[in-house]
Structure 1
Amino acid sequence: MASRDEVWFDDAAGPLVRPYALTRGRTRDNRYGLDLVTLVVSVRPEVHERIVEPEYADVLWVCEHPLSIAEVAAKIDLPLCVVKVMLADLIEVDYVIYRTGWQPVRNAPDMDTMQKVLDGIRKL
């Protein structure tokens, strides 16, 4: 039996709440196509931090200036998949805005143009 003086946890043990408890067990949230290089920035973190849970408020303050999702995860020391779910929740309520790192190809050259370029290269 443990004595009253025995300390069963310390600061080095880490947080007492498991990261997945923050997201209610959700590990994936792909509503917005978030990836490692998606840029996120919070909208008025000083207002919204009073409304959300403390961990979400930390995300809002870290995102005060545009950062990639990978940078956010590193700064708040949480797994990437947890941070993506948290950010998706914040995007849902318009506390965070985002921009994906890729843009779809709109005006790709047609096959005829590509063939002419290839023929020109071969002639060099």
Structure 2
Amino acid sequence: MAAAGDGPWLDDAAGRLVRPFTVSNGRTRPSIALDLLSHLRATGVTPIGYLGPEHAQVLDLCRTTVSVAEVAAHLKLPAVVTKVLLSDLVDCGALTTKPPEFTHNPTDRALLEAVLDGLRRQL
């Protein structure tokens, strides 16, 4: 049975009925370099030509600034497939991207230990 609003492509029991690579037309590499923490935001430019329903979902999600990881989680797609979709939208001017801004050194040992400790508590 399909979940509300998901159309025929998702099934509660079976999961996604379309393979992720079909969403990106078989492409496995984005045209631009995107980090999982890269920030994206819609520009308001309407893409010319046909884009899939996932592209429309991405534009809706990116009305506010979001990361690549957040978009992938909302779409329930692998990060690499999501990056291909995002690069399509950046290429046509519908999205802007900027690298992540760190307020802390991402390789700071204390920060990494705190993250590890938090993950251990979740398991």
TM range (shorter): 0.5 to 0.7
Find the counterpart in structure 1 of residue 104 from structure 2: none
Measured on the aligned residues, the alpha-carbon RMSD in Å equals 2.6
In the aligned structure 2, how far is the partner of 1:15 from the partner of 1:72? 16
In the aligned structure 1, how far is the partner of 2:71 from the partner of 2:63? 11
Alignment TM-score, normalising by the size of structure 2: 0.65
Find the counterpart in structure 1 of residue 88 from structure 2: 89
In the aligned structure 1, how far is the partner of 2:43 from the partner of 2:16? 27
In the aligned structure 1, how far is the partner of 2:63 from the partner of 2:50? 16
Which ranges in structure 1 are unaligned for 5 or more consecutive residues? 1-9, 103-124
In the aligned structure 2, how far is the partner of 1:69 from the partner of 1:90? 13
Contact 2:40 2:96 in 1 (8 A): yes
Give the drift of 1:83: 0.4
State the one-letter code of the partner of 1:18.
Answer: R
Aligned residues: 93
Which ranges in structure 2 are unaligned for 5 or more consecutive residues? 1-10, 102-123
Find the counterpart in structure 2 of residue 110 from structure 1: none
Find the counterpart in structure 2 of residue 42 from structure 1: 42
Give the drift of 1:51: 5.1
In the aligned structure 2, how far is the partner of 1:76 from the partner of 1:89? 16
In the aligned structure 1, how far is the partner of 2:38 from the partner of 2:60? 17
Matches within 5 A, 1:1-124: 10-29=11-30, 31-44=31-44, 47-48=46-47, 52-101=51-100
Structure 1 outlier segments of 4+, above 6 Å: none
Contact 2:23 2:52 in 1 (8 A): no
| Percentage of matched positions with identical amino acids | 40
Alignment TM-score, normalising by the size of structure 1: 0.65
State the one-letter code of the partner of 1:76.
Answer: L
* Deviation larger for 20-29 or 84-93: 20-29
